[in-house]
């Protein structure tokens, strides 16, 4: 099935996409905990983001060489096509990654992961605006449940951090607001990537390379007059890095490639399957390694998130005209 503008509506996931989704589930679920444990507070955010993009480019080029698509790249690739498909999403993702790095440091792993799930709502919104993929009444209800969960978590996270002696303003402005802003940007960028892969037929690996390069250039330009830029000049690019810092950087890079594959084959909104599983992985890892049970607000919000995403996947929009023909 295709939308009016030529974008395909993803159907059931095949074995390969299911495998990609399982790997992405593990990466999504473990990334907040790994980043919190392996990236010290003295590490400059821009240095970790730029390094992640470089690693992503190298991995994508290796995969392109392996599947043979790298050979014909010189004949097919054009600058205008690259900028159209990857330029804007790249700039958006670069900003999103920086916001996520900031929020990691002010929120606990499970709360971060659940708040991060509001990206599904924004992905659905931008998918409709860009690809004209409509939502059923049940899906709209599911998205409302998701927003309710986000509000609960915002209230609960502020109160839990206050009781532990941390400034609630810091939690709000350095944790909650950045991760919600990143979710909006993620929804927009994901929809643009789906449009490029399904309508413009851009390969996911090539998009990964292009977006990483463009995003890195945008980040470098913005760093020139930023506090991170001054910190890099004063202390060096790898200030505060250890061998363990490479673990979340490489993990995040591989996750970026998997996101491209899943988005290309299954669609941005249908990453909800991955996200539900990632929430459970995060909760399990946080309890196992930190011995910290989720707060009461998280316990209320978690089933809301799971129910909303499950409902969204179960009741897709059906075209009435096509339904009558059948």
pLDDT tens-digit readout, 202-224: 788 888 888 888 878 878 888 88
How far CA 109 is from CA of 58, 100, 180, 258, in Å, comes to 29, 12, 15, 21
Work out the average pLDDT over 112-141: 79
Q: How many CA within 13 A on the CB side of residue 315?
A: 14
Confirm whether pTM is higher than 0.85.
no
Can you tell me the distance from the alpha carbon of 140 to that of 312, in angstroms, rounded to the nearest whole number? 8
Q: Assign 239 a pLDDT band (cuts: 50, 70, 90).
A: very high
Q: Assign 17 a pLDDT band (cuts: 50, 70, 90).
A: confident
Q: Is the pLDDT of residue 106 over 60?
A: yes
Q: Is the pLDDT of residue 128 over 80?
A: yes
pLDDT of residue 9: 52
Cβ atoms of residues 268 and 241 within 8 Å:
no
Torsion angle of alpha carbons 40, 44, 45, 49, nearest 10°?
-100
Non-local CB neighbours of 92 within 8 Å, separated by 6+ positions:
185, 188, 189, 192
Strand partners, 8: 2
Q: Assign 176 a pLDDT band (cuts: 50, 70, 90).
A: confident
pLDDT of residue 236: 94
322 exposure class (CB count in 10 Å sphere: 0-12, 13-18, 19+): exposed
Q: How is the chain split into domains, by residue range?
A: 15-68+77-158+167-317
Q: 2 φ, ψ to 5°?
A: -130, 150
Percent of the chain with pLDDT over 70: 83
Q: Is the pLDDT of residue 129 over 60?
A: yes
- Output the average pLDDT for the chain: 79
State the alpha helices, DSSP H only, in the chain: 15-38, 45-67, 73-76, 79-82, 88-104, 109-116, 119-131, 137-163, 168-171, 177-198, 204-223, 227-235, 246-266, 272-290, 296-314, 320-325
* Distance in Å from the first CA to the final CA of the chain: 13
189 or 14: whose pLDDT is higher? 189
Q: Is the pLDDT of residue 4 over 70?
A: no
Percent of the chain with pLDDT over 90: 15
Work out the average pLDDT over 180-184: 89
pLDDT digits (tens, 9 = 90+) for 26-67: 998 899 889 988 998 899 988 998 999 999 999 999 998 888
Can you tell me the distance from the alpha carbon of 191 to that of 176, in angstroms, rounded to the nearest whole number? 23
Non-local CB neighbours of 234 within 8 Å, separated by 6+ positions:
none
Cβ atoms of residues 311 and 138 within 8 Å:
yes
Cβ atoms of residues 248 and 105 within 8 Å:
no
Can you tell me the distance from the alpha carbon of 214 to that of 196, in angstroms, rounded to the nearest whole number? 16
Can you tell me the distance from the alpha carbon of 241 to that of 276, in angstroms, rounded to the nearest whole number? 32
pLDDT of residue 244: 93
pLDDT digits (tens, 9 = 90+) for 68-86: 888 877 777 777 778 777 8
Non-local CB neighbours of 326 within 8 Å, separated by 6+ positions:
none
pLDDT of residue 326: 45
Q: How many CA within 13 A on the CB side of residue 255?
A: 21
Q: Is the pLDDT of residue 162 over 50?
A: no
């Amino acid at each position: 099935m295709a939308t009016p503008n030529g974008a395909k509506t993803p159907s059931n996931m095949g074995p390969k996409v299911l495998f990609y989704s399982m790997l992405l589930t593990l990466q999504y679920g473990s990334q907040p905990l790994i980043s919190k444990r392996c990236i010290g507070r003295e590490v400059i955010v821009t240095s970790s983001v730029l390094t992640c993009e470089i690693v992503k480019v190298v991995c994508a080029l290796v995969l392109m060489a392996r599947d043979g698509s790298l050979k014909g790249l010189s004949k097919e690739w054009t600058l205008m096509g690259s900028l159209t498909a990857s330029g804007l999403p790249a700039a958006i993702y670069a900003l999103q990654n920086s916001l996520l790095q900031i929020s990691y440091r002010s929120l606990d792993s499970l709360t971060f992961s659940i708040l991060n799930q509001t990206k599904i709502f924004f992905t659905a919104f931008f998918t409709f605006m860009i690809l004209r993929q409509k939502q059923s009444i049940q899906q709209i209800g599911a998205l409302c449940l998701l927003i309710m969960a986000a509000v609960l978590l915002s209230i609960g996270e502020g109160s839990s951090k206050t009781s532990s002696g941390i400034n609630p303003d810091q939690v709000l402005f350095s944790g909650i607001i950045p991760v919600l802003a990143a979710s909006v940007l993620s929804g927009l960028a994901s929809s643009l990537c789906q449009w490029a892969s399904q309508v413009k037929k851009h390969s996911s690996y090539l998009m990964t390379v292009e977006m990483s390069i463009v995003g890195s250039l945008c980040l470098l330009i913005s760093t020139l007059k930023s506090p991170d830029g001054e910190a890099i000049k004063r202390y060096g690019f790898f200030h505060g890095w250890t061998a363990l810092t490479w673990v979340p950087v490489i993990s995040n890079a591989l996750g970026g490639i998997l996101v491209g594959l899943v988005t290309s084959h299954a669609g941005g909104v249908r990453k909800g399957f991955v996200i539900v599983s990632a929430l459970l992985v995060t909760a399990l890892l946080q309890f196992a390694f930190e011995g910290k049970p989720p707060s009461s607000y998280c316990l209320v919000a978690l089933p809301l998130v799971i129910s909303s995403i499950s409902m969204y996947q179960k009741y897709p929009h059906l075209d009435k005209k096509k339904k009558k023909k059948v």
